[in-house]
Amino acid sequence: MGTIADSMRPHVKRWGRTIYLRLPLSPAAKNRLLEFAYKNAGPLFEGHGYKDSLLDEFRGQPISFPYVDEPVVSVIIPVYRGLDDLHNCLRSLAAFIETEPALEVILVDDCPSEPVTHAIPDSGGLVKLFNRENLGFLLTCNRGAGRARGRYLCFLNSDTMVTKGWLRSLVEAFEETSKAAVIGSMLLNPDGSIQDSGWRILQNGWGYPIGRGGDPRNGAYTYRRIVDCVTGACFFVSKKIFVDLGGFDPVYAPAFYEEFDFAFRVQAQGLKVICEPRSKVVHLGSASYGAEMRDQLSERNHAKFVKRFADTLPKHPTVTDDEFQLRKERDKGPVVLIVDLSVPHSDRYAVGITVSRYIHQLAEAGWHVVFAPFDGKADDSAAEILERQGIEIIRNPWTIEGWLAENGRHVDYVWLSRPDIAESLIEIVKAHSSARIVY
């Protein structure tokens, strides 16, 4: 069956694209269809499940971490049973260790009656701690942080698998963003769809996961941006900040809402919480507490969170039917859509230098900048540079018209370059937006 599926996949992709182009739907409807297709049939179009492709990449990888005198990052993994998941997590860490900053790994086993970390091979850069009693996720994380030697801490669930460049991207996001305190990865489901790309917290204190079920290639989710919170499954923070704020607050023990609370306390200090989508981590979502206990703890700690931040929450959104607004709301500046022939390369030609500088200056001034390469191509290092500056990009197979149909009401300015581009887009801009057009 696998051989048959592999042979059919190129035909399915070709037929799917042909049908998609011919569908009598609006551009906005086609964009929504793309997200639905990726969420429900992504493996059919792209290959076997994303989790399986990762497992293939590091299958048989030895679990070994060399000792380093001065680790940049201490990766802290709370463990509660789940040896198979832990094996996969550690194999992925070991497989990509050469591409990442110097690290140490700290395992904190929180199941005294059935410890599993004894089964993990010892190595110089691997620290094993065993709780004498079950402390729960929060206190286990705090205990691991107390043994950390790194400048940064990265709390990582044992039911995760990392990808190449995951930790380097987090460090870079911290060091390139003024007043950064907490950084989170784009979390992926086992099928490769988005689990969350940062969170917004609503007025009622419940969280909204940005991008859930979407395509991780969609430019709406792939740019670095300020968020309210990031998930504790991969939670990167300066050790100094973590210590200064007293770590995760034990009032939320054993678990749930501790990372949201920490993020809000960070922001009260004038610091930022950032989602860095270049860092991608697969989160299996294994439930350590079970659904009933999870819901009870969430309800209890949600009430504590709402009471503590009663003065802050009224400033947050109430509805979730406009994801662009949820993504953009942390930026209070105008929205500008910039269209040029291709992504600007500041190292190749004068126009690229000029456009790059304008884009950077607008972003620095607090504008929400959306860049649309007319050719639709945005998968090289130049596009990454823009996204690291917080620039949203419209890339194939998403279209400028489709993006405007969904989001045009939010756009204040549209900057069009080149006569042929302007001629083809002016009427489309007018049809979907009241934005002022700049040429």
| Angle separating helix axes 350-364 and 381-388, nearest 10 degrees | 20
Q: Which residue has the tokens 């040896």?
A: 83
Contact predicate 412/383, CB 8 Å: no
Which amino acid is residue 194, in one-letter code? I
The candidate with the shortest Cα–Cα distance to 166, out of 263, 66, 89, is 89
Distance CA 394, CA 403 (A): 8
Distance CA 285, CA 159 (A): 7
| Angle separating helix axes 258-268 and 291-308, nearest 10 degrees | 20
Q: What is the CA radius of gyration of the chain?
A: 23
Distance CA 117, CA 109 (A): 7
The dihedral sign for the CA sequence 214, 215, 218, 221: positive
Name, in order, each residue with C-beta under 8 angstroms of 369's C-beta and a sequence gap of 6 or more.
Answer: 336, 338, 359, 362, 363, 390, 391, 392
Distance CA 281, CA 194 (A): 10
pLDDT of residue 273: 98
Distance CA 393, CA 396 (A): 10
Helix intervals (H) in 285-349: 291-308, 323-328
pLDDT of residue 237: 98
Residue 307: exposure state from Cβ atoms within 10 A (0-12, 13-18, ≥19): exposed
pLDDT of residue 422: 97
Burial annotation 119-143 (CB, 10 A radius, 16+ → b, else e)? ebeeeebbbebebeeebbbbbbbbb
Which amino acid is residue 288, in one-letter code? S
Contact predicate 219/378, CB 8 Å: yes
Q: Are strands 180-188 and 126-130 parallel, antiparallel or unpaired?
A: unpaired
Contact predicate 355/375, CB 8 Å: no
Q: Tell me 314's DSSP state.
A: G
pLDDT-flagged residues of the chain (< 70): 1-23, 26-48, 286-289, 330-331
Distance CA 390, CA 276 (A): 10
Backbone phi and psi for residue 385, each to the nearest 5 degrees, phi listed first: -60, -45
pLDDT of residue 303: 98
